[in-house]
Structure 1
Amino acid sequence: MRNTFYRDTWVEVNLDAIKYNISHLRNRLHEKNKLIAVVKANAYGHGSLQVAKTALNAGADSLAVAFLDEAISLREKGVKAPILVLGASRARDVKVACEYKITLTVFQVEWLEEALCILEDNTYLPIHLKLDTGMGRIGFRTKEDIRKIEDLLCAQSRIKVEGVFTHFATADEKDTTYLDKQIARFRELLNGFSQLPEIIHCSNSAASLLHPELQYNAVRMGISMYGLTPSLEIENDLPYPLKEAFSLRSKIVQVKKLHKGDKVSYGATYEAEEEQWIATLPIGYADGWLRKLQGIEVLVDGMRVPIVGRICMDQCMVRLPYEMKTGTKVTLIGSQKHQSISVNEVATKLETINYEITCMISSRVPRVYLEDGEYMNVVNPLLD
Structure 2
Amino acid sequence: MVKSIYRPTRITIHTEAIRENLRTVQEHLSADQSLFAVIKANGYGHGAVQVAKIAEEEGVAGFCVATIDEGIELREAGITLPVFILGLVDCAYLPIVSQYQLAIPVASTDWLKQAEQAYLKNPWDEPIAVHLAIETGMGRIGFIDSGEVKQAEVSLAQAEGFYLEGVFTHFATADQADATYWQEQKARFFETIAVLEAPRYIHVTNSATQLWHEPLGNLVRYGVAMYGLNPSSDALQPSYSLVPALSLTSQLVQVKQLPSESGVGYGHTYETTQDEWIGTVPIGYADGYVRKLQGFHVLVNGQFCEIVGRVCMDQLMIRLPADIPVGTTVTLIGTDGDKTISLQDIASYIGTIHYEVACLLSERLPREYE
- State the TM-score, normalizing by the size of structure 2: 0.96
| 1:85 and 2:85 are equivalent in the alignment | yes
Shift of 1:234: 4.1
Shift of 1:154: 2.6
| 1:231 and 2:232 are equivalent in the alignment | yes
Of the three residues 192, 201, 214, the one matched with 1:189 is 192
Of the three residues 160, 163, 188, the one matched with 1:160 is 163
One-letter identity of the residue aligned with 1:273: T
C-alpha separation in 2, matches of 1:250 and 1:224? 26
Residues 319-358 of structure 1: matches in 2 within 5 Å? 319-358=319-358
Structure 1: 5+ residue runs without aligned partners? 371-384
Q: SS where residue 131 of structure 2 aligns?
A: strand
C-alpha separation in 2, matches of 1:50 and 1:258? 44
Match of 1:170 in 2: 173
Residues 76-155 of structure 1: matches in 2 within 5 Å? 76-119=76-119, 120=123, 122-155=125-158
Q: SS where residue 232 of structure 1 aligns?
A: coil
Of the three residues 210, 215, 232, the one matched with 1:213 is 215
One-letter identity of the residue aligned with 1:189: T
How far does the alpha carbon of each residue in 1:1-49 deviate from its partner, in whole angstroms, 9 at most, with x for none?
A: x999211111111111111111111110123311010000001111100
Q: CA RMSD in A?
A: 1.5
C-alpha separation in 2, matches of 1:206 and 1:7? 37
Match of 1:43 in 2: 43
| 1:28 and 2:28 are equivalent in the alignment | yes
One-letter identity of the residue aligned with 1:235: L
Shift of 1:122: 4.9
C-alpha separation in 2, matches of 1:307 and 1:3? 24
Shift of 1:155: 2.4
C-alpha separation in 2, matches of 1:352 and 1:323? 34
| 1:14 and 2:14 are equivalent in the alignment | yes
Q: SS where residue 324 of structure 1 aligns?
A: coil
Match of 1:203 in 2: 205
Q: SS where residue 235 of structure 1 aligns?
A: coil
C-alpha separation in 1, matches of 2:125 and 2:278? 67
C-alpha separation in 2, matches of 1:197 and 1:212? 21
How far does the alpha carbon of each residue in 1:353-379 deviate from its partner, in whole angstroms, 9 at most, with x for none?
A: 010000011111111111xxxxxxxxx
C-alpha separation in 1, matches of 2:125 and 2:344? 50
Shift of 1:292: 0.5
| Inter-CA distance 122–285: structure 2 relative to 1 (3 Å threshold) | closer
C-alpha separation in 2, matches of 1:296 and 1:199? 45
Q: Paired residues, what number?
A: 366
C-alpha separation in 1, matches of 2:361 and 2:309? 20
CA contact (8 A) 2:289 2:361 kept: yes
How far does the alpha carbon of each residue in 1:101-148 deviate from its partner, in whole angstroms, 9 at most, with x for none?
A: 111111121221122222238531111111011110000111111122
One-letter identity of the residue aligned with 1:148: Q
- State the TM-score, normalizing by the size of structure 1: 0.92
Q: SS where residue 163 of structure 1 aligns?
A: strand
Structure 2: 5+ residue runs without aligned partners? none
Match of 1:61 in 2: 61
CA contact (8 A) 2:292 2:350 kept: yes
| Inter-CA distance 121–220: structure 2 relative to 1 (3 Å threshold) | closer
How far does the alpha carbon of each residue in 1:170-200 deviate from its partner, in whole angstroms, 9 at most, with x for none?
A: 000010110010000011011121x111100
CA contact (8 A) 2:157 2:164 kept: no
